[in-house]
Amino acid sequence: MMDDELVEVRFLVPQIQVELKYATADNFTGEVVYNFQECFLRKEVLLRLQNVQAELEIIGLGLKIWDGFRPIAAQWKFWELVPDERYVSDPSKGGRHTRGTAVDLTLVTQEGRELPMPSAFDDFSEKAHRNFRGATPEETANRELLQTVMEKHGFIGLPTEWWHFDIEGWEIYSPL
């Protein structure tokens, strides 16, 4: 049987930084979308992120999470604003974040400084695409490092968002 338990990130992997963008107005909606500060994910996702974090720490880096589990009401709000499946999952299909199997994140230094990436978070342009070639060499290297380490530990990146990763087999989990 599948584990339906959601676990708070900092409970299992306290080294991972959490800055939930949708718990503040600092996001593409300009509004607070959900009113909790804890980032929840399925336990299997967190165990894999724990391995990613450990590997990154060896080279002086770490993870910062911007979004994990997302309530279906938040998914509907995003869909109303951006009804484009390249960037927002259709909530009538359940959504990916609503399953607790998707995570939006970036790389940070040990001091917590975000590494340069080809675009900002929630940029709905080609700059956010994994195959965007107009980024600087440093931005491209950082994006590729994030993708390589995440894939090594069982994650699949969304082609249109360098920050979004789903656990392999996310489809078998039900929305929560």
Catalytic positions are 161
CB-CB contact of 157 with 164 (8 Å): yes
Pairing of strands 6-8, 40-42: antiparallel
- The candidate with the shortest Cα–Cα distance to 163, out of 115, 130, 126, 138, is 130
Q: How many CB atoms lie within 10 A of CB 36?
A: 12
Phi, psi of 138 (to 5 degrees): -65, -45
The whole-angstrom separation of Cα 103 and Cα 70 is: 10
Burial 107-128 (b: 16+ CB within 10 A, else e): bbeeeeeebebbbebbbbeeeb
